[in-house]
Amino acid sequence: MKSTAKLSAIGAYVPEQRLTNQDLEKLVDTSDEWIVRRTGMKERRIAGPEQFSSDLACAAVKDLVARYQSDLHDTDLVIVSTTTPDYGFPSVSARVQAAFQLKQAGAIDLSAACSGFEYALHVANGLVTSGLHKKILVIAAETMSKVTDYSDRTTCVLLGDGASAALVERSEENGAFLGAYMGADGSLGKALYRTGLSTVMDGAKLVDTGKMIQNGREVYKWAVKTVTTGIPELLKNSGLSIEDIDWFIPHSANLRLIEAVFDRLNVPMDKVLYSLEYYGNTSSASIGLALSDAVKEGKIKKNDRLLLYGFGGGLCHCGQVIEWNA
């Protein structure tokens, strides 16, 4: 089905507090040289004690409104991707709906971990293109620091907090969503999880700390294989070749992983955008943060074709090709 939805605005927010590699050297047995060599990260942003995912989400929406002078009064749905909601319920999306007094808007949270922003964009495009909705606010907001074990040096060096927001609205002439591809392998769920009501998965007892647990080696292998094979499928679904893409924006999980993927695809790294160097891995917020920064810096131009690809917990993945016409 041809898309009749466009991405008309982007916004982002990161907390003020920085957690540098030098700060981490004081917490665990690590070093700036080791972290940069293994991940490409130099610092992350950390939410304050009284700052939660809904606060970051609202700040990202405010940035979107300020940058594009967007009118939200006729927004008819709010979709928030988050793995770190303030509460079991009410949802983060409902808190955003209330904060902006979007009285006519529905509100749903979507959980697809690091690929959540792309899943949410896919859902928004489908709802707008079908005619069920006209304007949808899509947000990815994560406070990963609140579920990070800062005694685990393999994961605490990776994670940061942030939020990104996008407005998806009807446009008969300028449908921006050119193609999508998604999938999941739930059998690998034990490679990346955080316990909830259940502490057993597939008959195996989970480490029940309430913090994120990751088998980095398994996730790395799955991600490289999945994204390397997924991007050609996404391009095929979009009717495009790899040369038709102006910018590639993968989930900012780890720079070495990103380099491995695009080396296999023969894509030069100067066509790849990421947000991990100064924000860390912000889960579902990372692609929106990279997109927002690139737009601010003037890298992304009107009618550029962007390939977004999220991957992570679930284990889920989702890619989108979007024509930039904000």
Residues known to be catalytic = 114, 251, 281
Nearest-angstrom CA–CA distance, 229 and 225: 6
Q: How far apart are the first and last CA of the chain?
A: 22
Nearest-angstrom CA–CA distance, 188 and 257: 18
Query: Which is it for strands 316-323 and 177-184: parallel, antiparallel or unpaired?
Result: antiparallel
Nearest-angstrom CA–CA distance, 228 and 127: 29
46 Cβ contact list (under 8 Å, min separation 6): 15, 17, 18, 19, 145, 160, 161
User: Which residue has tokens 């927010």?
Assistant: 13
Count Cβ atoms below 10 Å from residue 306 Cβ, excluding itself. 22
Count Cβ atoms below 10 Å from residue 40 Cβ, excluding itself. 17
Answer for the pair 199, 207: CB distance below 8 angstroms, yes or no: no
